[in-house]
């Protein structure tokens, strides 16, 4: 099973960050929470910090575990762990994405999001309302 992490980033206005996968990338056009696969020997938080540097050129170091989901498709079996963090993403530079935006929570459901990321929305709603 491949371990994967994603960051659900909220800003100080309570909005949620999402980015759209660029043309030519797998799942192009889908919106997602940034993240990626763990490398050999990495802890989830270390992988997430590295992925955010690589994908968005931002340094975030404090994460809170939210939930994990497992799924399988034609490419394999995966376990995706979501972490929440707070940042206004100053100096963001996209690498794997062609658009990004801040969304109100209720607007996320209208996006064409990756299925695994959609699975986190009920957990995120409880987290935001706690």
The pLDDT > 90 percentage for the chain reads: 85
Domain assignment present for 15: yes
What CA–CA distance (Å, rounded) separates 69 from 19?
Answer: 20
Identify the CATH number of the domain in which residue 63 sits. Answer: 3.90.79.10
Domain assignment present for 110: yes
What CA–CA distance (Å, rounded) separates 124 from 76?
Answer: 26
Domain assignment present for 128: no
Domain assignment present for 58: yes
Q: In the chain, how many domains are there?
A: 1
Domain assignment present for 122: no
107 Cβ neighbours under 8 A, 6+ residues apart:
none
Domain region containing 44? 2-117
DSSP assignment of 96-113: SEEEEEEE-GGGGGGS-B
Domain assignment present for 125: no
Domain assignment present for 86: yes
Domain assignment present for 130: no
Strands 76-86 and 2-10: parallel
What pLDDT was estimated at residue 27? 87
14-49 confidence digits (pLDDT tens):
999 999 999 988 889 999 999 999 999 999 999 999
């Amino acid at each position: 099973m491949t371990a994967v992490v994603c960051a659900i980033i909220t800003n100080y206005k309570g909005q949620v960050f999402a980015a759209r996968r660029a043309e030519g990338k797998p799942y192009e056009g889908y919106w997602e929470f940034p993240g990626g696969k763990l490398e050999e020997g990495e802890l989830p938080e270390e992988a997430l910090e590295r992925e955010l540097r690589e994908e968005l050129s931002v340094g975030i170091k404090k994460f809170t575990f939210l939930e994990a989901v497992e799924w399988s498709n034609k490419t394999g079996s995966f376990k995706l762990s979501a972490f929440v963090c707070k940042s206004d993403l100053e100096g963001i530079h996209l690498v794997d994405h062609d658009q990004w935006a801040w969304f109100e929570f209720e607007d996320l459901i209208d996006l064409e999001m990756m299925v695994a990321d959609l699975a986190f929305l009920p957990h995120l709603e409880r987290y935001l309302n706690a």
